[in-house]
Amino acid sequence: MNAVDRRSVLLAGLGVAAGAGVAAGADALGSATATGTTAPNASGDPGAPRGPGASGSPAPKSGGTGAEHRLSLTAAPATVDLGAGVTARTWAFDGRVPAREVRLTAGDTLVAELANRLPGRTGTAVHWHGMAVPNAMDGVPPVTQREVLPGAGFTYRFTAATPGTYFFHPHVGVQLDTGMYAALIVEDPREPMAYDDEWVVVLDDWLDGIKGTPDRMLQALTSGGSGGSGGEETDGDGSGDSGLLRGAGGSVAYPYHLVNGRVPADPDTYAGKPGARVRLRIVNAGSDTAYRVALGGHRLTVTHTDGYPVEHQEADAVLVGMGERYDALVTLGDGVFPLVALAEGKNRTGLALVRTGKGAAPAAGVRPAELNGRVITADLLTAAEDVRLRAAPDDVTHLVRLTGSMDRYDWSINRRRFDMRDPRAAAFTVRRGQRVRLDLKNVSEMFHPMHLHGHTFQLGTSGARKDTVTVLPHRTVTVRLDADNPGDWLLHCHNVYHGEAGMMALLSYVS
Ligand SMILES: [Cu+2]
């Protein structure tokens, strides 16, 4: 995080005091915004009237600050340095893995210009994971837009209504498993939590350019599974079951697990001061790996998942499925500490370091005891009171059976494999204004992190507000949402190989 970002966070925390000093007549939101990251890009007058985004946390889904945040994303082949002499030929946005973090203030408008310089006829698009964008900005070809072909571009434009921790990635084929991803942070102009700094922790399982490509992996998985041609590609070594996931951790044996694009032998290092309070924003951008994350020598206070606040809970570690995000507060000790992401069921780890004082760095394969302490999973969380869904009867209930098997790799929903050429077939239909209940019933032997586009749902009746929820084998998770964002929205497994094999469906609004 750069100095400007940090200042904006601190100012937001200071609230009124900062406002008084900077702009007479502006409220705390105005001054925090004017001093923060968005000011250089703002097209409007920083003192202009603010929308209803100013009224509380999280900001309501309308209105805006008037500030525009412009960025360009060029998708192209790149050779990236993963540390410790490991380089990989991959596809990336602007040659970086992860791509440059995007940071906005709630109410800002993001204007992102995508340019495609990928090889051959490789189309792409950008999906803004977790953001309740207008349907046409959701980045899912061919459902919400056409594929952006090489040499062409597309401009995404939407207002970031709700503060939180998000990320973005392509939603074409298995491009999620390339280097094309980055964190997207929406700051709360009235941030209610006090902290001294914040660190974004982006996790990823990596094979591209090291062990074939994601496309080849998909082919191996779908053309015979473990017994077929995929034998040497797919998992066979170092894997096992995960107790937390009640089964296999995945099907792909990744050579590396990265934290912020770095291998454990050459980790990213966060510098801080002993006693400082830091907000961690943890994003799992992986494709086939759930991570158990802990900071050695520290306890975590879990505060948010998928951007939405929860009643705070103390934990030693947190389980983060693919597509999930968790925020946690931590008070730093004095020394050098390992921030470890254990790949569930894969017997491998990713690593970053936290350095606040003297000391030798821990070994690359370190496994702090906290990994085996109290692990927070989403089902243990309760939504913060101000983000709970209002009580209302269910207007429509859909049974979403998660079907298929690892052997046949015939992942599907209600036994139907999604067909991108006919995406609206067998859609789950809803009407605007309905309270929608989805019963996610996993009848398979493997966990599935189910992600819904364009909405957040609530687990149970007062559980966490989320957009991605891990459904364990032979379990049913009931979620509810308000149908308030018309369009055709994907509901799918965020294991990119499961999704691409067919575990997707559409939630479609009808009139
Ligand atoms: Cu799945």
Q: What residues does each domain of the chain span? A: 1-192, 199-382, 388-509
Q: How far is CA 164 from CA 185, 213, 353, 464, in A?
A: 6, 32, 24, 14
Neighbours of 350 (CB within 10 A): 31
How many angstroms is it from 147 CA to the middle of ligand 1? 24
How many angstroms is it from 244 CA to the middle of ligand 1? 16
Residue 63: its pLDDT value, please? Answer: 60
How many angstroms is it from 503 CA to the middle of ligand 1? 7
How many angstroms is it from 11 CA to the middle of ligand 1? 41
Residue 109: its pLDDT value, please? Answer: 97
Q: Give me the DSSP letters along 9-57.
A: HHHHHHTHHHHHHH-TT--HHHHHHHHSTTGGG--S-TTSPP-GGGGSS
How many angstroms is it from 232 CA to the middle of ligand 1? 21
How many angstroms is it from 494 CA to the middle of ligand 1? 6
How many angstroms is it from 316 CA to the middle of ligand 1? 26
The pTM for the full model equals: 0.87
Q: Name the amino acid, one letter, at 1.
A: M
How many angstroms is it from 354 CA to the middle of ligand 1? 33
Report phi then psi at 23, rounded to 5: -140, 105
How many angstroms is it from 215 CA to the middle of ligand 1? 17
How many angstroms is it from 495 CA to the middle of ligand 1? 5
How many angstroms is it from 418 CA to the middle of ligand 1? 13
How many angstroms is it from 471 CA to the middle of ligand 1? 9
Measured distance between the N- and C-terminal CA atoms of the chain, rounded to whole angstroms: 45
Residue 64: its pLDDT value, please? Answer: 76
What does the pLDDT profile of the chain (511 residues) look like in tens digits? 333 333 333 333 333 233 333 332 332 222 222 222 222 223 333 222 223 332 233 444 446 788 999 999 999 999 999 999 999 999 999 999 999 999 999 999 999 999 999 999 999 999 999 999 999 999 999 999 999 999 999 999 999 999 999 999 999 999 999 999 999 999 999 999 999 999 999 999 999 999 999 999 999 999 974 433 334 445 444 457 899 999 999 999 999 999 999 999 999 999 999 999 999 999 999 999 999 999 999 999 999 999 999 999 999 999 999 999 999 999 999 999 999 999 999 999 999 999 999 999 999 999 999 999 999 999 999 999 999 999 999 999 999 999 999 999 999 999 999 998 899 999 999 999 999 999 999 999 999 999 999 999 999 999 999 999 999 999 999 999 999 999 999 999 999 999 999 999 999 999 9
As residues whose CB is below 5 A from the ion ligand 1, the structure lists 448, 493, 495, 498
Q: Name the amino acid, one letter, at 325.
A: R
How many angstroms is it from 344 CA to the middle of ligand 1? 14
Report the topology of domain 1-192.
Answer: Immunoglobulin-like (2.60.40)
Residue 44: its pLDDT value, please? Answer: 32
How many angstroms is it from 501 CA to the middle of ligand 1? 9
How many angstroms is it from 247 CA to the middle of ligand 1? 12
How many angstroms is it from 91 CA to the middle of ligand 1? 24
- Degrees to nearest 5, angle at CA 218 with 213 and 223: 130
Residue 318: its pLDDT value, please? Answer: 98
How many angstroms is it from 341 CA to the middle of ligand 1? 20
How many angstroms is it from 448 CA to the middle of ligand 1? 4
For domain 388-509, the CATH class is: mainly beta
How many angstroms is it from 83 CA to the middle of ligand 1? 30
| Separation between Cα atoms, residue 104 and residue 5, nearest integer Å | 10
How many angstroms is it from 287 CA to the middle of ligand 1? 10
Domains 1-192 and 199-382 share a fold: yes
CATH code linked to domain 199-382: 2.60.40.420
